């Protein structure tokens, strides 16, 4: 393994450094996993979830895919969400995009990119819905604005999932958030779309999993 041997060496050095700083670090890590946060982010290698928010391993549950999407037929993502909410009892779910996202940019282009084009169609729909707003922007701003709009849409998609609405029905405290990370300064931009209930979702997306009190309509 001549091409990756340095990674194993780096791993050994990192593990030794952790033990030097905190002899019980790995003992605690093995003991339990109890993060309060689920991070749904982009696969981009420049967006390291734990480091961005200053958290150690075990403090942040992470799912990543191209352009940080929450798609109702993506059972990988939905399984992560269900485990995080029902087993880990996370209190916050963060949908985190980043400015200059290559996936978002590809969704704006009228040329083929291979298999990923099928994955990016939901972002093309977001682009179409906001085409007038985006067309009025400078070219340098268009991709970044669609990155923001995509995050906002994915927070809505997350709120529409059965597992999230079931948690709210149980009275489980949980808030969904949308952020966009800026690569050139390392800061996140809060989209101010945090949601802790069905309020704000169109009625058609309300799925109740418990009997409602008398007089309350679905």
Active-site amino acid positions:
42, 44, 46, 98, 101
Tokens 């399984």 found at:
79
Alpha carbons 159 and 151: distance in angstroms, whole number: 13
Rg (CA), the chain: 20
Q: In angstroms, what CA-CA distances link 206 with 85, 111, 178? A: 18, 37, 20
3-state secondary structure of 134: helix
Residue 177 bridge partners (DSSP): 94
Tokens 């041997």 found at:
5
- Return all residues near 206 (Cβ < 8 A) that are at least 6 apart: 165, 198, 218
Alpha carbons 93 and 50: distance in angstroms, whole number: 14
Structure tokens at 29: 């890590």
Q: Which helix (H) or strand (E) holds 60?
A: strand 60-65
Q: How far is CA 36 from the centre of its chain?
A: 14
């Amino acid at each position: 393994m001549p091409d990756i041997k340095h990674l194993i060496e780096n791993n050994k050095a990192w593990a030794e450094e952790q033990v030097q700083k905190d002899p019980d670090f790995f003992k605690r890590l093995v003991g339990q996993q109890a993060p309060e946060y689920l991070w749904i982010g982009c696969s981009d290698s420049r967006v390291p979830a734990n480091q961005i928010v200053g958290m150690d391993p075990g403090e942040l549950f992470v799912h990543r895919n191209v352009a940080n999407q929450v798609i109702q037929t993506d059972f990988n993502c939905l399984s992560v969400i269900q485990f995080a909410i029902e087993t880990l009892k996370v209190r916050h779910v963060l949908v985190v995009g980043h400015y200059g996202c290559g996936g978002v940019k590809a969704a704006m282009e009228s040329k083929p990119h291979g298999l990923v084009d099928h994955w990016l169609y939901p972002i093309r729909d977001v682009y179409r819905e906001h085409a007038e707003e985006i067309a009025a922007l400078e070219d340098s701003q268009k991709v970044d604005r669609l990155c923001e709009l995509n995050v906002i849409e994915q927070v809505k998609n997350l709120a529409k999932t059965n597992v999230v609405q079931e948690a709210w029905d149980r009275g489980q405290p949980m808030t969904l958030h949308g952020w966009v990370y800026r690569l050139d300064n390392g800061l996140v931009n809060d989209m101010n779309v945090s949601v802790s209930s069905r309020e704000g979702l169109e009625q058609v997306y309300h799925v109740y999993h418990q009997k409602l009190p008398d007089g309350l309509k679905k």
